[in-house]
Amino acid sequence: MNKTALITGATSGIGEATAHTLAKLGYNIIITGRRAEKLEQVKQEICAAYPVKVLALCFDVRVKEECCKAIASIPEEFSEITVLFNNAGLAAGLEHIQDGDTDDWERMIDTNIKGVLYMTRCVAPLMIKQGKGHIINMGSIAGTEVYENGTVYCASKHAMNALSKGMRIDMLSSGIKVSQIRPGMVETEFSVVRFHGDQQRADNVYKGVKPLTGADIASVVEWLVTLPEHVNINDVEIMPVQQADAFYTYRK
Ligand code: NDP
Ligand code: 8X3
């Protein structure tokens, strides 16, 4: 049976790029997201490019029942999930805490924390049963730094940092690898979503900078999953050359 990789949030950006990269490595792929049309498009593109099977599961990671139902529906041929990429996530809004939109906060907390918990709770027991697995969590430099106007997003990624460390401890005796990737600026739909569809404001984020791409992060995932069985990378921080941290960016 071919090994399977499950990638949440594969309808765009980092998740979509990673689905292609893991398909190129020969994994059967399970892609997830809420946009059914986009999921189908990604599925068709992967199927046309690589000799692997692709399963598209359309659901919202914020809804526990939908996560459980989706995982329970996975057919036998995809059931050996050896990689879970907890990637689905978002930032919503950029305001001081005292002006923040509580709906934005709910979206970030429910997606970036609870979604990861639900997916991990559904998939980790399957990995433990099969005696191997690799969980890769999508963190951020916002998981170790805090910047003005980003408090709740930063808090959600700080939670991801704690979850990644805790998962590794809890599943140590089961041999499950847990890694976290913490990028700086990656140009995807991230900023458009953060600014509620304001493309111009999103473009300004990357003005004068050559940001990372989804493919750059996918190449990190490729590296993580191709290391020898006894080797695990706990944490990868990755940035564009023009970015030093959350505060210092050199714009040309
Ligand atoms: P994109 O907006 O391009 O992709 C986000 C993905 O998450 C989409 O596929 C989206 O699918 C999915 N998603 C969002 N909410 C949900 C939900 N409730 N249920 C299911 N899927 C959901 O952004 P990125 O590729 O940049 O983001 C991927 C991850 O990388 C996020 O966790 C983000 O925090 C993190 N990150 C991004 C950085 C950046 O600068 N871009 C830097 C550091 C970390 P759909 O809309 O179809 O549901
Ligand atoms: C995305 C990177 O710097 O906008 O996680 O928080 S940042």
121-156 tens-digit pLDDT = 999 999 999 999 999 999 999 999 999 999 999 999
Separation CA 208–CA 96 (nearest Å) = 25
The one-letter amino acid at 23: A
Locus of tokens 């700080």 = 158
Q: What are the residues facing 6 on neighbouring strands?
A: 30, 84
* Mean pLDDT computed over 101-113: 98
* Mean pLDDT computed over 204-209: 97
- The rounded percent of the chain whose pLDDT value lies above 90 is 99
H helices within the chain, ranges in order?
A: 13-24, 36-49, 64-72, 102-109, 116-130, 151-170, 190-194, 199-205, 214-225
Question: Closest-lying ligand to the alpha carbon of 193?
Answer: 1
Amino acid 1: pLDDT: 57
2-40 tens-digit pLDDT = 799 999 999 999 999 999 999 999 999 999 999 999 999
Query: Ligand 2 centre and the CA of 227: distance in Å?
Result: 27
Separation CA 131–CA 138 (nearest Å) = 23
Cα–Cα nearest to 123, from 205, 5, 24, 12: 5
* Mean pLDDT computed over 171-200: 98
Amino acid 2: pLDDT: 75
Whether ligand 2 lies within 6 angstroms of the CB of 108 is answered as no
Residue by residue, DSSP assigns 194-244 as: HTTT-HHHHHHHTTT---B-HHHHHHHHHHHHTS-TT----EEEE--TTB-
Whether ligand 2 lies within 6 angstroms of the CB of 161 is answered as no
- The rounded percent of the chain whose pLDDT value lies above 70 is 100
Query: Ligand 1 centre and the CA of 173: distance in Å?
Result: 31
pLDDT at 100 over 60: yes
* Mean pLDDT computed over 215-221: 99
Binding-site residues, ligand 1, Cβ < 6 A: 8-15, 33-35, 38, 60-62, 87-90, 111, 115, 138, 140, 183, 185-186, 188-190, 193, 214
The one-letter amino acid at 29: I
38-96 tens-digit pLDDT = 999 999 999 999 999 999 999 999 999 999 999 999 999 999 999 999 999 999 999 99
Query: Ligand 2 centre and the CA of 132: distance in Å?
Result: 31
